[in-house]
Amino acid sequence: SQRVLADLVAYLGVDVSFLRYNDHTIRASRLIAEWPVRPQIPAPDPLALVFFADADPVFAQSEHGKKPMVFRPEPATDDYQKRIN
């Protein structure tokens, strides 16, 4: 998965890419892979499992999303930016 994401990052010219799995039985999003891998991943990793009930608007929006989404730093995504940085 990381190799595919690395290819996508290079091809699309984006900074980062990640693959998540939405587990609807527990209403959460699981991190499957990311590229590039974060240099320091805290324990516990706040991005490993994000419950939609407690999620910022960006993660909450992805609960039922069916299309790829692109996010840029802007005021509307401030809570999301705080979570991923």
Question: Global pTM?
Answer: 0.77
| Residue-level pLDDT at 68 | 80
Residue 33 CA to residue 21 CA, distance in Å, equals: 10
Q: What is the pLDDT of residue 25?
A: 97
Q: How far apart are CA 60 and CA 80, in angstroms?
A: 10
* Banded pLDDT at 8 (limits 50, 70, 90): very high
Taking only the tens place, the pLDDT of each residue in 52-75 is 998 888 888 889 888 887 777 777
Q: Give the model's pLDDT for residue 59.
A: 83
Number of domains in the chain: 1
Q: Which of 47, 46, 53 is nearest to 27 (CA)?
A: 53
More confident residue, 79 or 37: 37
Label residue 80 by pLDDT band (50, 70, 90): low
The sheet with strand 17-23 has its strands ordered as 17-23, 28-35, 49-51
Q: Average of pLDDT values for 15-31?
A: 93
Domain coverage including residue 28:
2-84
